[in-house]
Structure 1
């Protein structure tokens, strides 16, 4: 006998699908404007590929929500984008952006897959992982061809296998500090690059924000990113590790907004939340106590910035409420 059992979505699956819908509608808006303003014809097909992926995702997500009779989120619509606005970001920035989309997708969907139970949801996130891999690889290939791919620093190969023999390996507060391990270099460099990208993104957002409060929030975020970059760069240079820099990704001088303030705020809080997660993982992967302490401080600073962003979104009615458990106490009183 065939098994026709079709369980409802779990809270985890609902959260994952709702978040995916928000992110994909955001992606459609951003990439649509990129396609209107890109000048390099070698980049255009990659932007189109990224846009097609986001739209394909939205069709599947919408079908799932309809089948479950679940309200379809609003996310971001044509009201949040002005396709006639001038170019805000360089073509090189666009490449970094869609490479970041691929990397973020790999991170997000690899977390989503083991938190999904239903086969159709697992199949969906498996396909998302494949498309994110292709997007990341195709973009990275083109970036290397164009000479704009930033490789992590090099260090000499070890001549033999060694084991840690002294507690000094974990220190870093006083006295001579040991050189960075390759894993610490990886984490510091990755966080440096992400903040470099965030600084460029928020600088552009600060130029086009319409509200004074939003403009101030974007400027503050750009300054935080710059401060964090300086800290990561300091640790790398102290160990004489060369830190190649991203170039030509700062925004144009345009001040005409292609995106709504609502979109700017959501995008900023979303990448800030990702950054906090990356800092947490970096903290767990770092042995030197001085660097661990820095990650802890930076997480607090990013958390305060995130909370202020959420309050600003609530104040303006921009924060769409995620699916939530019923308020049992309120139901009892009604």
Structure 2
């Protein structure tokens, strides 16, 4: 029996824990696979450490649900991965996966912290955030040391501050005029989108090669092409400003067609990356002062949104979408 000082979980706290449990159980299974196929000691050490940290949070959240009398989500288990399947990606792809996942979880943790009220939940989210930031730093450092990740374009550093002098600064490219070069805030957001989609292209390639269901295979193929189009579009924007970034992927998909992950897990992973892409595009739109850039990013967001909608429908058709906890349906209760 809980004492009089007990504070039940708020609806937002149940929701954020549910989302975190889904993501962490997916991550744990993918990390098991990548750690199994690690080819170097430093890669193995990083993946194994992150796997242990993720597994610890899975166990803690499950215990929290049990203690609070909340149904434990299904999430993802050992049946969603075949660690003995041949390597689906070459090189340090698993480290790149950790790096991207750390970006996503760092952003989610910042959002979730604003939704948490109980001290123990806030503390757990802060721990997740700290470990995500450490994982991002370690993964980035390892990839840079191996020469397997490119840095954003290098430009001449400004030697003094300046102010915008007229409204032409906000004009974009048109058939009548050239646009000003990208400013470095715009460059930062655009490069992140290009880097993420370069990774997503290889991820979708492996997923498309190994999906069991034909409609899932076609879906991953369309995701692969959307990622390619995004990289090409952003690359052309950079080239117009005489910058030539090349976000070299740390690895490529192999020729394996043996399923390493369940279609359910791959669809959920794609859903997370798609949501991350939508958020990144929204930020890029907000911080872009050249009028043509938001138009291009909004067009891209529309494509990504429709891709996400199609994925949700596919997951529902196959029974792969676990339903989040719901509020009471008072209409049904009254009519019962």
Relative to the length of structure 2, the TM-score reads 0.96
For residues 88 and 182 of structure 1, the distance between their equivalents in structure 2, rounded to whole angstroms, comes to 36
Corresponding position of 1:126: 126
After TM superposition, which residue ranges in structure 1, 4 or more long, deviate above 4 angstroms? none
Q: Which runs of 5+ in 1 are unaligned?
A: none
Contact between 2:103 and 2:132, CA under 8 Å: does it hold in 1?
yes
Contact between 2:99 and 2:135, CA under 8 Å: does it hold in 1?
yes
Aligned to 2:227, the other structure's residue is in SS state helix
For residues 302 and 240 of structure 1, the distance between their equivalents in structure 2, rounded to whole angstroms, comes to 28
For residues 156 and 121 of structure 1, the distance between their equivalents in structure 2, rounded to whole angstroms, comes to 45
Residue 148 (str. 1) matches residue 120 (str. 2): no
Choose which of 219, 232, 240 in structure 2 pairs with 1:217: 219
For residues 227 and 149 of structure 2, the distance between their equivalents in structure 1, rounded to whole angstroms, comes to 21
Q: CA RMSD in A?
A: 1.3
Corresponding position of 2:15: 15
Listed one character per residue, the Cα deviations across residues 187-214 of structure 1 (whole Å, up to 9, x for unaligned) are 1110000000111100100000011000
1:97-108 alignment, distance < 5 Å: 97-108=97-108
Corresponding position of 1:181: 183
Aligned to 2:8, the other structure's residue is in SS state coil
Corresponding position of 2:70: 70
Contact between 2:200 and 2:224, CA under 8 Å: does it hold in 1?
yes
Residue 114 (str. 1) matches residue 137 (str. 2): no
Aligned to 1:19, the other structure's residue is in SS state helix
Aligned to 2:255, the other structure's residue is in SS state coil
Relative to the length of structure 1, the TM-score reads 0.96
Residue 89 (str. 1) matches residue 86 (str. 2): no
Corresponding position of 2:281: 279
| Stretch of structure 1 that moved more, 242-251 or 117-126 | 242-251
Shift of 1:4: 5.5
Shift of 1:233: 0.6
For residues 247 and 55 of structure 1, the distance between their equivalents in structure 2, rounded to whole angstroms, comes to 27
Contact between 1:40 and 1:91, CA under 8 Å: does it hold in 2?
no
Corresponding pairs, count: 332
Contact between 1:106 and 1:133, CA under 8 Å: does it hold in 2?
yes
For residues 250 and 104 of structure 2, the distance between their equivalents in structure 1, rounded to whole angstroms, comes to 22
Choose which of 318, 323, 326 in structure 1 pairs with 2:325: 323
Contact between 2:150 and 2:248, CA under 8 Å: does it hold in 1?
yes
| Stretch of structure 1 that moved more, 92-101 or 298-307 | 92-101
